[in-house]
Structure 1
Amino acid sequence: MEYIVNLNKFQGPFDLLFHLIEENEIEIYDIPISEITEQYIIHLDRMSEYRLDITSEFILMASTLIEIKSKMLLPSFSDNEEDDPRQDLVNRLIEYKLFKDVSEEFKDWEEEELKFLPKPKEEVEYDFKFNEQILFEEINVYDLLNSINSLLKRRKIEIGREPPKFNIRYDEYSVTKCIKIIKNILKDKSKVSLMDIFKIDFNKGFIIAIFLSILEMTRDNTIKIIQDNLFEEIYLISK
């Protein structure tokens, strides 16, 4: 099968890899690693020819793909699916897809609400990017995003397509301000639940700003995120 690649400028290696998988309708749980590796390297060569930026992350992904390809060529002495060398890559791609989907939902809901707001769209911006270095110790990104996404969907159902019954000020909650809010709460408590934080304000701007703040604080190693059991309350704990 011939895999088609367009010379787009990608934000990162997962963006490029997911594009290859999506564009050629490849099953994410059964990636033909040999073909994808070949196409990925060809694409990097083309990016180099057109003098597009190739960061170390792209090179690292190429090395990872080559390593997985090598492992898959070795004879397997186990029938255990968990031994599949692609599994970690598949998990990260699923994680990336969730970021991508939620990001698109954020934009859609933002555009819907801006119909009722006096501020021009240019003044509203969320820095929502997939960071491959973010790894939560006690809970994965998928669980956190699901929790945030559920809150936003619930809020959308409550508001519907009617004009909001309150004024939303997008400059009221910045990421910096929300980090301070979380830190102040954790000064008095050993842990705080996401739901308790969202009781402060349930507008979309605040929910998104809090979510980005949690990612930033996790990156800085100032908090950790825990969940006792699947589908139960998510808590933030100060480190």
Structure 2
Amino acid sequence: MSLGDPRPLLLEGAPEEQAPLPEVIDHVALARLYGEPLFQLPADLYIPPDALEVFLEAFEGPLDLLLYLIRKQNFNILDIPMAAVTRQYLSYVDEIRSRNLELAAEYLLMAAMLIEIKSRMLLPPKKVAEGQEPEDPRAELVRRLLEYEQMKLAATRLSEVPQFGRDFLRAQVYVEQALKPRLPDVELADIQQAWADILRRAKLVQHHKISREELSVREHMSIVLKKLQGRRFAPFEDLFDSAKGVPVLVVTLIALLELAKETLVEITQAEAYAPIYVRLAFTTGTPS
């Protein structure tokens, strides 16, 4: 050891003792434990062998690996050099067998197929009829690789399409409505239901006297308007006089619909399935 060596001198045979850390620590901490810097790993710390793994390439299956090996080395996919590809493929399979045996099962099946194709290429070709080319043992593998590559390219193009939740979000804007409550529109089914209730009550007080009476729609329109005069709202049922029989009720309903058609009255409802009210459209009136 030279005189300029900054390391401390140790006596031969004496155990090397760890120098205590200074009070002011200027080292780089390996980690923090409960907020305190940790400059040395604990002696009893167990780190599993596979705690840290780095995967440079991720393949989705044997065909993906084969396609990667072929495209990386610019091999002609229609004329695959089976010896080189099989050798590289088996080296990758040997690597994953030591880490994940279940994952290697699918790759081992493809390795057996590659070895079979390579063996068939070493044998003399089968005799075929004149004018026909002998069957290439790689034909089925090439067909599967081309189909897989087409599907992979299609999946890549689909993944480039903007997707909701990944590339963009739906904009939501809340617009505060006016403080004036908006009454729901009265549907035809609501009027039909109210009319059915009126007919049901009318049949309870109907008379068996048969008579012919000419009824005027215009006259009953005037009667309905008179009933609404001076009232803010009138229940739908109050506009009908069940004691006068079904013909009068029918004419009153037609008169009410004509008034609504001519926008002389408004038919309103506070909420769904709530009672129906009628009021004059051209004046607010006063509460009755």
Specify the structure having the higher radius of gyration (Cα): 2
Relative CO higher for 1 or 2, CA cutoff 8 Å, sep ≥ 6?
Answer: 1
Structure that is richer in helix per residue: 1
Normalising by structure 2, we get a TM-score of 0.35
Normalising by structure 1, we get a TM-score of 0.42
